[in-house]
Amino acid sequence: MENVIITIARQYGSGGKTIGYMLAKKLGIPCYSREILEKASEESGINVTLFNQADEKLKRSPKFLLSTNIYSGELLPPESKEFTSDQNLFNYQAKVIKDLAEKSSCVLIGRCADFVLRDSSNVVSVFVHASPEFNMERALERSSMTRREMEKFIARTDKYRGDYYKYYTGREWSDARNYDLCLNSERLGFEGSVEAIESYLQVRFGKLPDPVKTKE
C-alpha cells in the first residue's frame, strides 16, 4: 500500500499531540513533532537553536498581522545572505516533512504539514479541538500555572499557531475547509478520536496503512 500520511493540527490542551502519538503507536508507524526541527537542523547544517529562536521571534513579530510569506518550496544555498532567514528555516522543515512522507507512512504534528503536502493524494489532514473549559482543565493538569495565567497562555499559544499558519499558508488555521477531519476530543475522548481517524482511513483507502518495520 502507498504510504499514508496523517497530519494533525490542534488547539492547545485538546490533546491533539497525544492523539497523534497514540494513533501512530496503534498503527505501528512513526510520529514526528519537534523531531522535525532536529532533522531540519541536520539536513541544513544550521544549529537547531536557530530554528527554536525563529519560532520565538515570530511569536513576538507584528509582521504576522501585516503580511504572508506563503511557502513555495525554494531552498536557499549556504552562501546566500538569507540562508538562516525565517522563510528558509521553514523551507527546510518543509523539505523534511516531504522526505518523511516519501519514506514511510507516518503521523506529522503541526508545522503546517497539511499545507506542505496539500498536493499529495495520500494525506489525511486532521484538526483536533475541544471546548475552552476542557482545554483549560487538561492544560492545568500538566502545569503549575494559575487558572488566570493558563487562560492567557492558551490564548497566546492558539493565536500564535493561527498566525504562524496564515503567515506560511495564506489560510485560516481554524477553518474546517482546510482539513479532512475536524474532531472534538472532548466528545470523542482520545481513544475515540484515534478510532475515528482509523475509520476514516478504512473508508478512504480501503485498509489501514501497513506497519513500518524498524531496524533492530
Q: Going residue by residue through the chain (216 aa), what tens digit of pLDDT does each one get?
A: 689 999 999 999 999 999 999 999 999 999 999 999 999 999 999 999 988 887 766 666 666 556 788 898 889 889 999 999 888 999 999 999 999 999 999 999 999 999 999 999 999 999 999 999 999 999 999 899 999 999 999 999 999 899 889 989 999 999 999 999 999 999 999 999 999 999 999 999 999 999 998 654
The C-alpha angle with vertex 11 and arms to 22 and 149, in degrees rounded to 5, equals 115
How confident is the model at residue 66, as a pLDDT?
64
CB 194 within 8 A of CB 22: yes
CA 90 to chain centre: 13
Map out the domains of the chain as residue ranges. 5-205
CB 173 within 8 A of CB 114: no
pTM for the whole structure:
0.92
How confident is the model at residue 216, as a pLDDT?
42
Task: Provide CB contacts within 8 A for 132, sequence distance 6+.
Answer: 154
How confident is the model at residue 153, as a pLDDT?
95
Pick the CATH number of 5-205 from 1.10.10.60, 3.40.50.300, 3.30.420.40, 3.90.1490.10: 3.40.50.300
